Chain A
């Protein structure tokens, strides 16, 4: 019996250690952790998770404990006769059918409540943003302050902190999923099916998001950032985004613009720059204020002169599979290949788009 007690003490020590490890493994500081969240949606999902998690721990400890006890208590000993051939026990079996059902009711009720809360916006009149998925970047559209057109940007979502933001979701090509772990669980971007979610960030700051539905070759590199900022900063940012691009004054940048809108580089056929008569492409990200974004290539690398140059020179080395590399003449046709001077001019032009 002593050995049994020693074993059970070891078992409890092991379980405690496991639990400590479990809790230690939940790093709330990690940028995409679903712990240490901000905002009511992610918070309600985390509360639900913990509720179910502790119910699961309870079930595991009880069932595991009994299983461990049975395994030790009824191990075969030398000279054991056949045990009694018990075929069942109806009250017991009814009992262990009802017991799990009761545990499930305990988690079912908050689940249903949270499902409805998360999908029905508390404020349908709040700011509404359209999110459109593309292989492999996110497009964001805001209502223009003039109330008529849309402000289009990419890969960097700005939201006013502490406010409900409604999000319409759609995709231009394959399935994607819109996910900002610290703000809200994911909702998929399904081509042809408009989806909806609402988000709210309660603390100002930068949050990471990532496509969560497999979408092809560069799925791993389809990321975005959310910048939650006070209302006045947000309004200022939106006003800036809504403004047309300024004409470049630097000669190199002017040369870059000519190239951008010319027949050699043909950037205009896929990229839009508001204010330009020529650049109205819809296939690639809108570049009107690209220099104001902190990252390029859908959150993969920082936005600076050197990285822009590298991205233009060899996008494949930064993001394998990128459509620009696959389709743009400057990469597919040797005659259109950019020279170093061309790249420098384009980078200079892009740097004026802030």
Chain B
């Protein structure tokens, strides 16, 4: 390496403690980092929600000012979507996908670490805005022109823009990584149509991410130029059409909805066969319906815009495409029921969450069909009826499925079982309080309560159900506390888990819990859908292929840890802050320093030497 102008330090060798986590490129540790960070963000988003529920518990309260209320709902939604549900999905992608496809890591392990640290940077840029002069206040959708400098002179919107841009980089990097991993790194014999459903849905989700994020990136750059350099992309007074923002936002935003729900459907499609002891009913149809949902997700964006005046033709077309998307969704639900049919259903916590998902998702799906009817939606758009709907699909759907996934894969990740008694209490608390919180919102929505209002008149007839929803929200918070207690206690003192505690069907259950660093001592050969089930039940021997090892994994060469992904992300974080304050010299200094750090890190990363494997022994 004498040709390099800059000497690049050696990679860290077996770092431990904090350095071990900072430099790790092990997909399992990165998955845990994603999961823990996302869960902390989920709690912060939940606290923001509780503030709003207290404010709305009774009419005409003044716990928070209207300005703070606007910041609360903006932050709550942005947090839950970008910092909680998406990265929780990413946590499962990271931990589970390589194990499900019989790989030792993802295709680009350092890029994977970079995705996590960049995500953390974006998350911090958003959440720290509370302490830096005010959070964004224009809603997670940021409709022009209220995001313009004229109506929003503070830095709140800038934090929002920069955070989403940085998060976008993280998501794109991760999505490319998983596409390449899933396409290239499957164990021999695992054709596409033998992949586990969760892997399939991750693949579809990754394609959606790759195609959707550039749209919001472009829109955010335009908004940034409007705000920073006085351009007029979204300034109506200068002749701009503010609907441009809505179109760009929802062309991204609707696929984003499926980015949030497809991984959830993938998890459900793993859990239901396992605990019914039957293969997924109609595997090709379930795969296809997932792909079709991903595809059709691009044709429905204007159903978020039924009231903006696109005219009867556009409204009718988008009403019809939106209704059509109910077909593949319904097919999935029927196939899950077909899987349980004549099965041997075990009602443990994970399965209860899966069933809870189906029930709540049916309700959310049906209310979704209700607003697909454009004319009827004119009464529902921007009311609490929509708030009820999105919480049935995002909480009842995504969060229930993610909790289901935690209860399902927890033994694999920690090597210990979760407490079933606490788990069942946890499930029933979540399920009941979720309904108490969100079902009344259907009523107050149909009774004409608009969204995003910080106060209401006592004579509107909304008092009782608002109070009920607030009580429910605290019960919901308590149920999450039960989950935390269960997770922490079980991780410490739970019963030891075997490698295959559920009599599982997919490859992650064929290795010890927790998995060794190298995952598979011998790369398995796959003979069909549900590879591990076939191995177990039909006694097909797992034939070792090239790259195999003795059982202790001594000869396996794994990718080595690296400092550069972390430093490259740190550069984006610092540079992002610099851009927000670019009008001052300090801001320019930060922006330049961040850009330099990222460039140097990427360069060093590219030419980083591999440590001599012999030295490690």
Contact = CB atoms under 8 A, between A and B. Distances in A.
A321 interface: yes
A173 interface: yes
A212 to B, nearest CB: 4
A112 B323 CA distance: 12
Contacts of B312: 115-116, 118-120
Contacts of B279: 85-87
A275 B574 CA distance: 60
Interface string B376-392: 11111111000000000
Contact of A31 (B239, B285, B459): B459
A71 B354 CA distance: 12
Q: Is the interface of A mostly helix, strand, loop or mixed?
A: mixed
Contacts of A26: 443, 446-447
Given A87-B279, A184-B378, A115 B345 contact: no
Contacts of A44: 375
Nearest to A178: B307
Interface stretch (B170-178, B179-187, B196-204, B313-321): B313-321
Interface string B356-399: 00110011001101101111111111110000000000000000
B373 A48 contact: yes
B376 A52 contact: yes
Interface stretch (B14-22, B328-336, B582-590): B328-336
Nearest to A321: B66
A53 interface: yes
Interface stretch (A76-84, A231-239, A279-287, A345-353): A76-84
B151 A173 contact: yes
Nearest to A119: B312
A100 B454 contact: no
Contacts, number: 293
B337 A70 contact: yes
A70 B379 contact: no
Interface string A136-172: 0000000000000000000000000000000001000
A188 B456 contact: no
B531 to A, nearest CB: 14
Contact of A88 (B240, B281, B327): B281
A185 B378 contact: yes
Given A70-B341, A83-B277, A100-B330, A89 B282 contact: yes
Interface string A189-211: 01111011000000000001011
Given A82-B537, A108-B320, A111-B373, A93 B379 contact: no
A103 to B, nearest CB: 9
A49 B326 contact: no
Contacts of A34: 379-380, 446-448
B69 to A, nearest CB: 8
Contact of A211 (B335, B345, B450): B450
Given A108-B319, A120-B312, A186-B378, A218 B66 contact: yes
A114 B67 CA distance: 38
A53 B392 CA distance: 17
B366 A74 contact: no
Nearest to A25: B443
Given A33-B448, A321-B66, A187 B309 contact: yes
B278 interface: yes
A104 B326 contact: yes
A108 B333 CA distance: 22
B243 interface: yes
A92 interface: yes
Nearest to A70: B340
Contacts of B377: 185
Given A82-B277, A115-B375, A221 B338 contact: no
Given A26-B446, A190-B309, A74 B340 contact: yes
Query: Of B378, B452, B537, which is in contact with the most chain A CB atoms at under 10 Å from its CB?
Result: B378
A52 B378 CA distance: 14
B276 interface: yes
A114 B375 CA distance: 6
A174 B145 contact: yes
B375 A118 contact: yes
B375 A67 contact: no
B454 A87 contact: no
Contacts of B596: none
Residue of A26, A67, A195, A215 most packed against chain B (CB within 10 A): A67
Interface in B449-495: 449-456, 459-462, 465
Given A186-B307, A217-B67, A42 B379 contact: yes
Interface residues of A, number: 92
A187 B452 CA distance: 17
B283 interface: yes
Interface centre among A89, A175, A320 (most CB of B within 10 A): A175
Contacts of B342: 74, 83-84, 86
B355 interface: yes
B465 A220 contact: no
A97 interface: yes
Given A42-B379, A88-B281, A104-B323, A29 B461 contact: yes
- Chain B: number of interface residues, binned into ranges: 35 or more
Contact of B282 (A85, A93, A111): A93
A60 B361 CA distance: 11
Given A115-B316, A185-B375, A320-B66, A88 B242 contact: no
Contacts of A321: 66-67
B192 interface: no
A261 B227 CA distance: 37
A212 B387 CA distance: 13
B375 A88 contact: no
A213 B440 CA distance: 21
Contacts of A33: 446-448, 461
Interface string A232-267: 000000000000000000000000000000000000
Contact of B343 (A83, A117, A186, A210): A83
A17 interface: no
A5 interface: no
B382 A177 contact: yes
A75 interface: yes
Nearest to B324: A104
A52 B373 contact: yes
Contacts of B452: 214, 219-220
Given A56-B369, A66-B337, A107-B369, A27 B276 contact: no
10 contacts: A30-B447, A48-B375, A70-B345, A101-B324, A112-B319, A115-B316, A191-B242, A193-B309, A217-B66, A320-B66
Interface of A: 25-27, 29-35, 42, 44-46, 48-49, 52-53, 56, 59-60, 63-64, 66-67, 70-71, 74-77, 80, 82-89, 92-93, 96-97, 100-101, 104, 107-108, 111-112, 114-120, 135, 169, 173-175, 177, 179, 181, 184-188, 190-193, 195-196, 208, 210-221, 320-321
Interface of B: 65-67, 70, 138-139, 143, 145-146, 151, 236-237, 239-243, 276-279, 281-285, 307-309, 311-312, 315-316, 319-320, 323-324, 326-327, 330-331, 333-335, 337-338, 340-347, 355, 358-359, 362-363, 366-367, 369-370, 372-383, 440, 442-443, 446-456, 459-462, 465, 529, 537
Given A34-B380, A111-B373, A193-B309, 19 more contacts: A33-B446, A33-B461, A34-B447, A45-B375, A59-B366, A60-B363, A76-B346, A83-B343, A88-B338, A97-B331, A104-B326, A111-B323, A114-B373, A185-B307, A185-B375, A186-B307, A214-B138, A214-B146, A219-B70
